[in-house]
A and B are shown apart, each in its own frame.
Chain A
Amino acid sequence: MSETLPSALKAASLDQAPPRRSALSTFLVGSLGHGGLMAGAIVLAAIVLIALAAPLVAPHDPYAQNLARRLIPPVWDARGTWDHILGTDKLGRDYLSRLIYGARISLLIGSVTVLISGTIGTAIGVCAGYFGGRVDAVLSYLVTTRLALPVVLVALASAALVGSSLQGVIVVLGLLLWDRFAVVTRAATQQIAGSDYIAAAKAIGCSTPRIVLTEILPNILNPLIVVATLEMAHAILLEAALSFLGLGVQPPLPSWGLMISEGKQYMFFSPWVIAIPAVALVFLVLAINLVGDGLRDVTAPENRN
């Protein structure tokens, strides 16, 4: 049945004698003990490394086409060759190389989008949470408005307006995906703004920017990082959806979403064309989500001693 934690526990469990493990080492121990987090982190790290070292690890030029050698199946197929381990696409481009370069694009989209949306969302959330009152009402209404707009549709429409391109997709997604940041940081900030150490900082004479930057921000970092990872996955998936619908990244850039979209026509007879980027995408998103979930578990207050 449920775990009913005696309310005194929170205080009691804190009230133990030093020396104890530092926050960092508890975090590390927690992380190492968290299977999902570790698995996710390893896969993610691998993908990031491969993406960074793309020119070194990619066996071919991802853009070099050779129509005479199109649609070669991967090496595990009887007709496959070791020259093209994952086969070639419809234009005879090496699929493995495209996949490797595609990782760069997905990660780029994920990280830059999160950077933009995170900045916007955090600014909004912290202001709303800290100042409360009217500011909060206005900013909450902003968030509601944003939530009322259907993301895919607005992203598609904006992409159509600004012209679909890598930069366009990043900017559009960055300007759209800040809502969760705002909601989470707002809640976290509200909680912190009411705590005595903020009152203490004010009583000491700290300026508002100082309070926000040194007292509040570090303390909402955990949820922020968690949201950032999850939103990164979200952004990558959305880009894939936009590319799938034809208004995302444009060819010949090897974005995974685009590769899936292009591979769609071969899904009945050469299913690997679509399966390979789809699996890669699922893996990446899965890894990021695992890391995000894991971080949430590890940094959640009930798990911190």
Chain B
Amino acid sequence: DKARDTLVYASDTEAENVGPYHNNVREGVIIARHAFDNLIFHDLATGKYQPQLATSWTWVDPQTLDLTIRKGVTFHNGDPLTADDVVFTLNWAVSPEAKVVTKQNVAWIKSAEKIGDDKVRIHLNGPFPAAIEYLSGPVVIYPQKYFEKVGLDGFAKAPIGSGPYKITAVTPGKGVTMEKNTNYWKDSPLGQPSIGKLVFRIIPDQETQLAELMTGGVDWIWRVQADQAKQLEAAPNLTVLAAETMRVGFLQLDAQGASPGSEPLKDPRVRQAIAYAIDRKAMLDNLVRGGARIMNSACFIDQFGCTDKGVPRYDYDPAKAKKLLAEAGYPNGFSIDLYAYREREYAEAVIGYLDAVGIKAKLNFLKYAAMRELSRANKTPITFQTWGSFSVADASAFTGVWFKGDADDRARDQQVTDMLKKADTTVETEARLAAYAEALKVIAERAYLVPLFSYSSNYAFTKDLEFSAQPDELPRFFTARWK
């Protein structure tokens, strides 16, 4: 609402915890970017890394990184941000009691130490070239004093960061309110925030979001369904923006056969058959649209290290799928449960394709948190997953989550894990690329997951708003302004 200098943006999912380390939903990532600062800034326009909280950084060796921390930055509560806060945050995040939700984000860190007034040294668990990317993404800095005072629960209710917006209210189930940080440090590469107030409203219903947008109840929504986006373009007071995102949709198959009814999935031929059965192109052209692409590898194609060269492709071929199924001993198919949490029609389309080759999939549509829990408890034979890599433009942000033996790895293929470990820690660029390519090839051959396509995101917002979208699916309202 321009008149009240308040931008109301809506999304459907709620972060169980606003603390950036304790949720892995996109809505949480957005809030983290607005309320907290990273050490390093990744300039998407140039592809270069620039100083943010760290004024400079140097690799001492492939496992040691030294950073100089900026002076004069303060947290929202007025406390100065110091090297101590950085050291505390990193050491706390890797400790087991922190129970960080996405381990991959910090698992590369061994420890941090203060080596001077404003100097911090990070010890890595092994060579990890993507470290800079992570430091410019999911790793944000917490205020040590405040955090130690209020604890994890208190922090979730009233988080304090140093970012361009300060969080003023967290209402579970309802949303989060943020206000412009008028004391935001001058030279931040993020720039100075312009809009006075941000209100994040959780509106679970796409349609309600749409109705609210049309009636001016909210100013900005995203993930508008392709069909609707096209129609919305006609509305005079709205702007519609379509952009590809880093999010990749895929089917995760329980190759271990640990879930109830997932026995058939142990057979690679069955998994391949599933891959062949799905007409990804038709889905892309008719359902996804908006600049999205078909993905053949288990990562987003533009991430560093991600490639589909030499990776086997499973083009739509139901006949072959049936043949494979028959070879695997399922000439009449089988019944199985499929879990999904968003884009129900994509999941249903998949079910339709599976049905055509004889696999009777039953859809279970859940909230993300519930689905993740079931999946991690080995109760989901097939899951329709999507992953936005925390906007980290490095293949490790994808493969690391799904194949390195952590909670979300349902393949548990030691060979793949080892190959990825090697790739993650290879410092030399060419060798690193080759290592990823090799790992991705094995993953695809064994069809542990069926990559479908990248997502496009359709943003729709009021004409009053000047907003530009980035491919990393991370709206930056601190750069937005009223027209």
Give A contacts to B, CB under 8 Å: 63-65, 67-68, 70-71, 90-93, 163-165, 246, 250-252, 262, 264-270
B345 and A268 form a contact (CB under 8 A): no
Give B contacts to A, CB under 8 Å: 205-207, 210-211, 214, 225, 227-228, 231, 279, 282-283, 285-287, 344-345, 347-349, 351-353, 355, 362-365
Partner of A91, one of B211, B225, B348, B364: B348
A251, B279: Cα distance in complex, Å: 19
Q: Which residues of chain A come closer than 8 Å to B344, judged between CB atoms? A: 251, 262
Partner of B364, one of A65, A70, A164: A164
A252 and B365 form a contact (CB under 8 A): no
CB distance from B289 to the nearest CB of A (A): 11
Partner of A265, one of B207, B285, B363: B207
Q: Which residues of chain A come closer than 8 Å to B207, judged between CB atoms? A: 264-265, 267-268
CB distance from B235 to the nearest CB of A (A): 10
Contacts A65-B349, A68-B286 given; does A269 touch B362 at CB 8 Å: no
The number of inter-chain residue pairs (CB within 8 angstroms) is 70
Nearest A residue to B365 via CB reads: A246
A264 and B231 form a contact (CB under 8 A): no
B282 and A251 form a contact (CB under 8 A): no
Q: Which residues of chain A come closer than 8 Å to B363, judged between CB atoms? A: 250-252
A90 and B345 form a contact (CB under 8 A): yes
B355 and A70 form a contact (CB under 8 A): no
A268, B229: Cα distance in complex, Å: 12
B364 and A250 form a contact (CB under 8 A): yes
Q: Which residues of chain B come closer than 8 Å to A252, judged between CB atoms? A: 348, 351-352, 355, 363
A251 and B228 form a contact (CB under 8 A): no
Contacts A67-B285, A67-B286, A269-B228 given; does A165 touch B362 at CB 8 Å: yes
A97, B347: Cα distance in complex, Å: 21
B348 and A251 form a contact (CB under 8 A): yes
Given A68-B285, A251-B351: 7 more A-B contacts, CB < 8 Å: A65-B352, A65-B353, A67-B287, A71-B227, A251-B344, A268-B207, A268-B211
A88, B287: Cα distance in complex, Å: 14
CB distance from A232 to the nearest CB of B (A): 26
Q: Is the interface of A mostly helix, strand, loop or mixed?
A: loop
Q: Which residues of chain B come closer than 8 Å to A246, judged between CB atoms? A: 365
B364 and A262 form a contact (CB under 8 A): no
A262, B210: Cα distance in complex, Å: 15
CB distance from A30 to the nearest CB of B (A): 46
Q: Which residues of chain B come closer than 8 Å to A70, judged between CB atoms? A: 286-287
Provide a sorted-by-A list of 11 A–B residue pairs whose CB atoms are within 8 angstroms.
A64-B352, A67-B279, A67-B282, A68-B285, A70-B286, A90-B287, A251-B344, A251-B363, A265-B207, A268-B211, A269-B227
B283 and A67 form a contact (CB under 8 A): yes
Nearest B residue to A90 via CB reads: B345
Nearest B residue to A70 via CB reads: B286
Q: Which residues of chain B come closer than 8 Å to A269, judged between CB atoms? A: 227-228, 231
CB distance from B333 to the nearest CB of A (A): 14
B210 and A268 form a contact (CB under 8 A): yes
CB distance from B313 to the nearest CB of A (A): 20
Q: Which residues of chain A come closer than 8 Å to B231, judged between CB atoms? A: 268-269
A93, B356: Cα distance in complex, Å: 13
CB distance from A262 to the nearest CB of B (A): 7
Partner of B228, one of A92, A164, A265: A265
Q: Which residues of chain A come closer than 8 Å to B283, judged between CB atoms? A: 67
A76, B283: Cα distance in complex, Å: 27
Q: Which residues of chain A come closer than 8 Å to B285, judged between CB atoms? A: 67-68
B282 and A250 form a contact (CB under 8 A): no
B349 and A91 form a contact (CB under 8 A): yes
A270, B225: Cα distance in complex, Å: 13
A76, B399: Cα distance in complex, Å: 50
A65, B345: Cα distance in complex, Å: 11
A25, B121: Cα distance in complex, Å: 96
A63, B231: Cα distance in complex, Å: 27
CB distance from B347 to the nearest CB of A (A): 8
Q: Which residues of chain B come closer than 8 Å to A64, judged between CB atoms? A: 352
Nearest B residue to A268 via CB reads: B210
B349 and A68 form a contact (CB under 8 A): no
| Residue among A165, A267, A269, A270 having the largest count of chain B Cβ atoms under 10 Å | A269
CB distance from A189 to the nearest CB of B (A): 42
Q: Which residues of chain A come closer than 8 Å to B345, judged between CB atoms? A: 90-91, 262
Of all A-B residue pairs in the complex, the 8 with the closest CB atoms, nearest first, are A65-B352, A67-B286, A269-B231, A67-B282, A251-B363, A250-B363, A90-B345, A251-B348
Q: Which residues of chain B come closer than 8 Å to A270, judged between CB atoms? A: 227
A92, B285: Cα distance in complex, Å: 13
A163, B339: Cα distance in complex, Å: 12
A268, B206: Cα distance in complex, Å: 11
Q: Which residues of chain A come closer than 8 Å to B349, judged between CB atoms? A: 65, 67, 91
Q: Which residues of chain B come closer than 8 Å to A165, judged between CB atoms? A: 362
A268, B227: Cα distance in complex, Å: 11
